[in-house]
Amino acid sequence: MKKLKGIKAVITDADNTLYSWIDYIVPSLEALTETLHRITGFSREAIVESMKKVFTAYNTNEYAFVLQEADIFEGMRRKDFRWFQTHVVDPARYSFNRARKSNLRVYPGVHKTLQILCSRGIRVIGLSDAPCFPAEQRIKHLGVDRYLHALYALKSYPVPRHGELDGEIVNRIRVGYYKSLIEKVVELPLSFEKPSTRGIARILEDERLKPERVLIIGDSLKKDIRIAQEMGIADVWARYGTVISTEMRDKLSFYSAPAIQRRNVSQPGDASYTPTWTVDRFDQLLDIIELPPFAPGGRDVCPSPQPA
């Protein structure tokens, strides 16, 4: 098959396309739960079920204030909120963040490929069904925010009032600690969740892109490949993002609300759409796209890739 000419933008899914979401979230929730069990004495099962209620309400397993709202800890919070914050929330947050740092990794070739696309003047745009805030934070944590022109993700959860937050978080919000290097971050209505084509239509309109000048890559046949084909956009299936062990799926089922699991991870039997291209590494995109010459200033604007 001939390479695609004239591509102006690559629209990429995030979870299980740029990085493995399940390989990060399962160990992180395991570490969080184990710390809470050790400190409070509550059973792991009871802790998880209480957190699941909050995760479901906010449509994400990464709601940062889950411990401040989980009903299982209500008695502790009422008795002494400051003690609860210091002796329960802080150690649990540390455990989650340490596991995230160890397990959240880009797939091989991601940094290199994004740097090459950027240097050739091809815009890289993220389109995610995750809530915007955690999606942006993952991309920032991985250091790929430097390559993204824009990120479109679903409306994020509200931040509690300052009186309900510890001072460190309030100060970080004030100084812009959580902001990434992404030039444009757009929150989409929840009704824009894929396979709705309204998210991709919004990107085409905002960026003044023609469908024939765009490529979409993602791990979900019923979402990413479907919307690409319905919009007349070149589609690439990230097959590598669907390779998930039964053990990891079972663990995710224990920790995650079912709706969140269905949204974030491709499910067996999803093969209802046939992809035009299939890749087993992200950098195989470079075998599909005919790259233009270096964009003016491209070598200077785009930083060198980090090790993949």
Percentage of the chain surpassing pLDDT 70?
A: 87
CA gap 14, 12 in Å, rounded: 6
- Quote the crossing angle between the two packed helices 21-40 and 44-58, to the nearest 10°: 130
**Which residues, 6 or more positions from 209, have their beta carbon under 8 angstroms from its beta carbon?**
8, 9, 203
Residue reference for tokens 């390479």: 3
CA gap 33, 84 in Å, rounded: 16
Structure tokens at 158: 């509200």
Structure tokens at 85: 């914050």
**Residue 281 — very low, low, confident or very high, per pLDDT cuts 50/70/90?**
very high
Residue reference for tokens 């160890």: 102
Asked if residue 265 has pLDDT above 80, the reply is: no
In this prediction, residues 45-62 reach a mean pLDDT of 92
The SS3 of residue 124 is strand
- Give me the residue spans of the domains in the chain: 1-20+106-308, 21-104
Asked if residue 97 has pLDDT above 60, the reply is: yes
CA gap 166, 19 in Å, rounded: 31
- Find, among 214, 211, 202, 232, the residue nearest to 117 by Cα: 214
Asked if residue 41 has pLDDT above 70, the reply is: yes
Neighbours of 77 (CB within 10 A): 18
Q: Per CATH, is 1-20+106-308 categorized as 3.40.1180.10?
A: no
Report the first-to-last Cα separation within the chain, whole angstroms. 27
**Residue 166 — very low, low, confident or very high, per pLDDT cuts 50/70/90?**
low
Percentage of the chain surpassing pLDDT 90?
A: 73
Asked which of 99-108, 152-161, 270-279, 281-290 is least confident by mean pLDDT, the reply is 152-161
Q: pTM for the full model?
A: 0.90
Dihedral Cα 61, 89, 135, 141, nearest 10 deg:
-130
Given a contact cutoff of 8 angstroms between Cβ atoms, the answer to whether 90 and 116 are in contact is: no
CA gap 282, 185 in Å, rounded: 23
Asked if residue 215 has pLDDT above 90, the reply is: yes
